[in-house]
Amino acid sequence: MAKNAAGSSELFIEYALRMTKGRIRLVSLLSAGLTMIALAVGFVLAVVVADHLAPNGLPAGARTALRWTFLAAEVVLLVGYILLPLARRLNDLYVARLIEKAHPDFRNDLTASLELSRDPRVHSGTLAAIKRRTAREVAAVDIESAVQTSHVRLAGILAGVAIAAFLGYWAFSGKSVWPSVRRAFGDDGPAPRLTRFVEIQPADGVVVVTGREIEFAAEVVRGGGQCTLRLSCDGGQTFLEEDRYVMAPAGETESGARRYTHTWPAAADREAVFEIECGDAVSPRRRLTVLPKPVVEIERVVLVWPEYTRWRTEQSEAGIEALPGTRAIVTARANLPVQSALLRLKDGGAFRMAPAGDRPGEQGLPGRRVSVEFPVTGPDEYAITFTSIHGAVPPYTSPWHPIRMAGDPSPEARLISPTGRIELPVDATLDLAAEAQDRRFGVRGVELVVDEVRREPRRMGIREHSDGETPFPQEMRIRASIPVRRLGEPGTVLLCRVEARDNHPSVDAAGVRGQLGRSEVFELAIREPAILPPEEGDASLGRDADGGELAELVGERELELAAVDPAVEQAARELLEMSRRPDDAAAIGKIREELGVPVEQDLAVQDGQAPGEPGAAARGDAADQADARQVQDLINRQREVADRAAGLADRVGQVDPAAAGAPQQAAAHANEAAAQLAQGNVGEAAAAAQQAADQMAQAAGQAQPG
């Protein structure tokens, strides 16, 4: 029983000590916590009051200094009065003395029992008696009352007073408290004012268009005096006096706030900044992006004309004048980035435009060029509507641009010579001079049209523009020598004219493509050839068998060249014209194929020189005979040129051997032309005849009296 009683007394003493230790820690934590709360509320209240009293709010430097001082004090309280006491172990003797101090009637029994229990020399019976007495003493008193709570009460009073003062100031202050609270803990917002803005319009970052009126509005509470709008057109760097506007009162809202308004036409193509002053308050600055009025301009129009014209033109004018079927490629440039664009026709229809890319130097202005290709079908008008990527900018439609139809008039043909009525022998040549022009899309070809009574008109190609050439010439000058024999027989009267055609796709009743232009008509009467006696022919050439003196010989050379040179030129022209006419070249080839002999031999057969020879019967067609006779005439004329040139070279060589070279070469070229023509090689014959003509012209120049 004695042992059990001693053990119970010891356990009760330990319990009493633990209760006291817990009480000590709780009191310490409450005291420190309330002190920290009082300090925090006091700091906030001090900053709020100072921020309200200062004309423009408490400076940022002062707020920063107070904030760091407050944080340092809080850290000291946290470490010294909360963290360290929690980490420190309370000694049993310290707690026992604290209890004995609060209850002097213990007579140090609690301290003695703790100290004697650690001394092994003390008899256990004695120690047990002391602990029983101590346990009875502890049980008889309130152990918790041994811990003083005055610090908790004091800290609670301080915290309560601080909180009450803060709430009272919040309730009765004319200025807003919450902004100052945020500023106390580092917010850089504006200081609270007596005047408070409820709403400001327009919002920050609004996009407006130059010239468009903008309504500024402010709703304020407790505003005194007037409201002023201040604008800056340089991004907020300067607020000029001329950009200050007094806002007009506009009544009160349902909530009791006063409303002020002002209308301002946006006049700056840049970013604007505004703020509103009312009473002692200045609103936060807001930005306006002022854009120029939307404009789109035609930059370039490329016209791809119908294929038959072989035209492609480019222009900077917006108006279009083109033929139906033309493809128009319109490129436009806007002054704002384009989100979408349409090319609209006034008579209906629209074509979506695509981005056209930026030109060099426009990399900082992306998405402003657009392009579209559309067909021109008739007279109309077109305009471009574009929408900018800025939603506040309304869609813009350009002025209407005309689409006019261009004309494609028929070509013009003009006859230079001959005119009126002429009469030529059948063995002569018709020297034709004409002009054809089409100032729009050019001339495709020129023909000679021959009308004869009771016969279909005949067309003879004079000049044809090759399909591979481009573009068509706008003017053709025609110089042609046509054998009269090709036109008709002696005794016929022909009505002739020149016709010019363009490359228009239309087809006439005869199935010929192109528009037609006709010249005036001339009348050609064909008569029998004039046959002169041989002596007249020699006399006409001015020949002299004896030669004569030097002066007479020079005179004879001039007479002979005067007669020979036109013949040479005429023969060369006829060969050149024949070489350019596929129908004549084909006729000569056909003669050779049917006869199987050279052309010259075939002509001899047809002239009756060798009747009964093979091939003569096969050539019964009158047209083929006429073609063959025409070739024979050209061969004979080339041989005549060669003979005259050779005779001239002999006679001139007697006086001036150096001057005989030109006529000798002319004779050689003329013989070559006759030989090539006899074989059907019209092109080679024409080249040789032209060389003969050039040599005879050179001889004529050397023969001029000096």
327 and 470 in a single domain? The answer is no
C-alpha to C-alpha distance for 194 and 222, rounded to whole angstroms? 7
C-alpha to C-alpha distance for 704 and 119, rounded to whole angstroms? 167
Q: Is residue 182 part of a domain?
A: no
589 and 559 in a single domain? The answer is yes
Closest CA to 626 of 591, 574, 675: 591
The residues with which 495 forms a beta bridge, in sequence order, are 451, 523
C-alpha to C-alpha distance for 27 and 148, rounded to whole angstroms? 8
568 and 517 in a single domain? The answer is no
Please tell me the pTM assigned to this model.
0.48
Coil vs helix vs strand at 131: helix
- Give the residue from 274, 291, 308 where a domain finishes: 291
| pLDDT for res 74 | 87
543 and 599 in a single domain? The answer is yes
Q: First vs last Cα of the chain: how many Å apart?
A: 179
Q: Is residue 543 part of a domain?
A: yes
Query: pLDDT below 70 — which residues of the chain?
Result: 1-18, 20, 22, 90-148, 223-224, 267-269, 358-366, 466-470, 510, 530-630, 651-659, 697-706
C-alpha to C-alpha distance for 362 and 358, rounded to whole angstroms? 6
Q: What's the token pair of residue 668? A: 């050689």
| Phi, psi at 526, each rounded to 5° | -100, 125
DSSP 459-510: EEEEEE--TTS-S--SEEEEEEEEEHHHH--TT-EEEEEEEEE---S-B-TT
| pLDDT for res 358 | 61
549 and 510 in a single domain? The answer is no
389 and 300 in a single domain? The answer is yes
660 and 698 in a single domain? The answer is yes
Q: Is residue 141 part of a domain?
A: yes
144 and 22 in a single domain? The answer is yes
Q: Is residue 589 part of a domain?
A: yes
DSSP 496-521: EEEEEE---S-B-TTS-BS-EEE---
239 and 252 in a single domain? The answer is yes
346 and 259 in a single domain? The answer is no
429 and 449 in a single domain? The answer is yes
C-alpha to C-alpha distance for 676 and 670, rounded to whole angstroms? 10
- Give the residue from 527, 546, 578 where a domain finishes: 527
- How many whole angstroms from its chain centre is CA 263? 38
Q: What is the pLDDT of residues 605-623, one digit of tens each?
A: 333 333 333 333 333 444 4
Q: Which residue has the tokens 């150096």?
A: 658
Q: Is residue 185 part of a domain?
A: no
Q: What is the pLDDT of residues 123-151, one digit of tens each?
A: 566 666 666 666 666 665 666 666 667 77
| pLDDT for res 555 | 37
| pLDDT for res 449 | 92
C-alpha to C-alpha distance for 399 and 346, rounded to whole angstroms? 11
Q: Is residue 593 part of a domain?
A: yes
Residue 271, domain CATH: 2.60.40.10
Q: Is residue 181 part of a domain?
A: no
Closest CA to 381 of 403, 409, 359, 406: 403
**Residue 260 near residue 278 (C-beta atoms within 8 A):** yes
The 3 state secondary structure assigned to 152-170 is: HHHHHHHHHHHHHHHHHHH
Total domains in the chain come to 5
User: Could you list the residue range(s) of the whole structural domain that residue 300 is in?
Assistant: 296-405
- Give the residue from 385, 405, 425 where a domain finishes: 405
| pLDDT for res 469 | 55
541 and 659 in a single domain? The answer is yes
Q: How many residues does the chain have?
A: 706
At residue 689's C-alpha, the angle toward residues 685 and 691, to 5°, is 120
| pLDDT for res 98 | 65
CA distances from 157 to 39, 161, 165, 254, 528 (A): 12, 6, 12, 44, 152
Q: Is residue 77 part of a domain?
A: yes
| Phi, psi at 676, each rounded to 5° | -65, -40
C-alpha to C-alpha distance for 429 and 176, rounded to whole angstroms? 117
